[in-house]
Amino acid sequence: MVRAGKIGVANILVHMVIDIDEAGFGQQVIERSSTVPVVVDFWAAWCGPCRQLTPALEAAASAREGKVDLAKVDIDRNPGLAQTYRVQGIPAVKAFRDGAVASEFTGAAPPAQVERFFDALVPSEAAELAAADDEVSLRRALELDPLQADAAGKLARLLLARGETDEALAVVEPFPHDFLAAGLAARARLSQDGHRLDETFAAWDRGDHAAALEGLQEAFAATEGAERDAIRQAMVAIFTELGPDDPLAREHRRRLAAAIY
């Protein structure tokens, strides 16, 4: 059976969700996955988290406009498939490529995690635009997907470098749990409040992370309260940019930890 699910994101899109049974699994999933990835949602009618997850799955599939298929398998009606693919908890989502499971997750993942799962299979248009560095592409990425944190971070960096702190703050404020976005928001607030970190932030913008971190370490040691925490968040954003194994990031994380404790 095939049903249409209407998804409201930026525009309302319609994605065909295929309900698959054991008889059709070989052709509609295994064979089909040699042409496009097929994401299979193992679910049951009595499962509340399954119903919570469905809109995010359908939105992610719709955003990729036919580049990935979405199928649903009712485990109560198809226990053989659940056993074959070792479904021990639901919802269980498995992505098939070339006839085999390529990736999977279990549980009602939040929309951002679902998007990352689909992006690993087929990047959405928003994800592709977010990989660019020009302002037009980044703004379009956020129009298509307001949850596109990478695009928000890049756009905020461009705006901050131009001194447009108010708009930069508005761009990254919706992402308080993203370390880079939170650090850029903290930077914007520090600039708005008139703290003398212009040279430090200019070093950050030109890629001189050593000078930027040194300036932030000095400012952190000389301040307290909310300003001190904002400086810490800015440093964490730079650590995130550099990556966990970068020697400079490791050195300054140790220094920051020592200054805190």
- As annotated, the active-site residues are 47, 50
The first and second tokens of residue 216, run together, are: 């932030």
7 pairs with which residues across the strands? 13
Query: Is 19 in contact with 3 (CB distance < 8 Å)?
Result: yes
Gap between the Cα atoms of 156 and 173, Å rounded: 10
How many CB atoms are closer than 10 A to CB 201? 20
Alpha carbon distance 247, 79 (integer Å): 51
Token pair of 188, please? Answer: 């914007």
**How many CA atoms are closer than 13 Å to the CA of 249, on its beta-carbon side?**
13
SS3 182: helix
Report the 10 Å Cβ neighbour count for 20: 24
At residue 230, φ and ψ (nearest 5 deg) are -65, -40
Peptide bond into 91 cis (omega under 30): yes
Residue 50: Cβ-neighbour burial (10 angstroms; 0-12, 13-18, 19+):
buried
Six token digits for residue 173: 């404020």
Residue whose C-alpha is closest to residue 223's, from 193, 252, 249, 253: 193
